[in-house]
A and B are shown apart, each in its own frame.
Chain A
Amino acid sequence: MDLRFPLAEPTEAERAAIDAVVGAPGNGNGRVVRGDRHRRHLLLPSLRAAQRRVGWVSEGALGYASRRLDVPPADTYGVASFYALLALDERPAEVLHVCTDLACALAGAEVPDGAHPSPCLGLCERAPASLRTVAGEAPREIQLPETGPPLPQAGEDGLRLLRRIGAGLDPTSLDDYRAHGGYASLTRALELGPEGVRREVSESKLLGRGGAAFPTGTKWEAVARQEASPHYLVCNADESEPGTFKDRVLMESDPFALVEAMTIAAYATGCERGFVYVRAEYPLAHERLEGAFAQARAAGLLGDDVAGAGFAFDIELRIGAGAYVCGEETALFQSIEGYRGEPRNKPPFPVEVGLFGRPTVVNNVETLFNVLDVVAEGGAAYARTGTEGSTGTRLFCLSGHVERPGLYEVPFGTTLRALLDRAGARPAKAVLLGGAAGSFLRPDQLDLELTFEAARAAGATLGSGVVIVYDESADLVAAVLRIAEFFRDESCGQCVPCRVGTVRQEEALHRLASGATLGNELETLQDLAQVMRDASICGLGQTAANAVQSAISNLDVLVPGGAAP
Chain B
Amino acid sequence: MNFDFSDDQKLLKDQARKFLTDKSSLKVVRRILDTDETYAKEVWKGIVEMGWTGTTIPEAYGGIGLGHLELCMIAEELGRSLAPVPFSSSVYLATEALLIAGSEEQKQKYLPGLAAGEKIGTLALSEGTQAATPKTMKVSFEGGKLKGTKMPVPDGDVADFAIVVVKTGSGTDEKSISLAIVDLTGGGVSRAPLKTLDPTRNLSKVSFDGAPAELLGKQGGGWAVVQQVLDRAAVLVAFEQIGGADAVLATAREYALNRYAFGRPIASFQAIKHKLADMYIKNELARSNSYYGAWALSTNAPDLPAAAAGSRIAATEAFNYAAKENIQTHGGMGFTWEFDCHLFYRRAKWLSLCLGSHLSWKDKLVSELEKRNAA
The answer to whether A and B come from one shared complex is no
Residues of B at the A interface (CB closer than 8 Å) are none
